[in-house]
Amino acid sequence: MKVFKRPLITFVIVLTITISVTINGYTRKEVPEVSPKNRVREILTSVMKIQNDPDLQGHVNRYKRALKIKKIIRQNFDSYGMAKKSIEEYWRTIPRNKKTKFSEVFSDLFQDSYTRLVLNFLKREHIEYLGEQIKDGKAIVKTAIVRSNDRILVDYYLKQVKDKWIIEDVSIDGVSIVGNYSSIFKREIARNSFDSLLKKMVIQQKAIKMKLVENKKA
């Protein structure tokens, strides 16, 4: 098993445990207004703007920052596709109503965990945009978070949805977020059952909602 020493990677692992024919890579039907690289740049710029807003500084405003960041994540990540991919080999055997429930709960858990990741690790860091690869309506945008004593490689995996690029996975120093969810979920299903996994996720979802209510009152 690979050991992750960097705090950002460790944080990602912990979060996942607690819970057409183409023309230059684009489809003929739609051509996105911005490139995948610029789309990622727009998203990260928006997030860092929230993090550095003078009116939203300090722990007392963390809840407000979290709400704004979570909205950006919700609008730009394919949570349903990520949920499906995380248990892909079991997906066909799961009843439709449970697929819907699983996707909804997964979306809540992922958005909460990724919001906390951003709040804790992305503020004034310098980000290098190393390039992009586009093929068959899919894209990879390679970036690096540069700090005084560290350089963390972050790859964004996107898919084209109509005229927009949507993120469907993020890899941090080679560690896929969806891949980590998948490993944990598959292990729980193999040991117990899908229903057991869903039950545990719902419990975690309820705990998060209770905490949000507490933070809102604070």
The pLDDT of residue 148 is 84
Burial zone of 178 (CB within 10 Å; 0-12 exposed, 13-18 middle, 19+ buried): buried
pTM of the model: 0.83
What confidence score (pLDDT) does residue 98 get?
A: 97
CA nearest to 198, candidates 60, 90, 81, 71:
90
Q: Which pLDDT does position 31 carry in this prediction?
A: 72
15: phi > 0 → left, psi -120 to 50 → alpha, else beta; which?
Answer: alpha
**Mean pLDDT of all residues in the chain?**
88
Residues 7-53: tens digit of each pLDDT: 555 555 555 545 533 434 544 456 777 899 999 999 999 999 999 99
Residue 192 to residue 173: CA distance in whole angstroms: 31
Domains of the chain: 7-217 (3.10.450.710)
pLDDT tens for residues 118-160? 999 888 889 999 999 999 999 999 999 998 888 999 999 999 9
Helix (H, G, I), strand (E, B) or coil at 133: strand
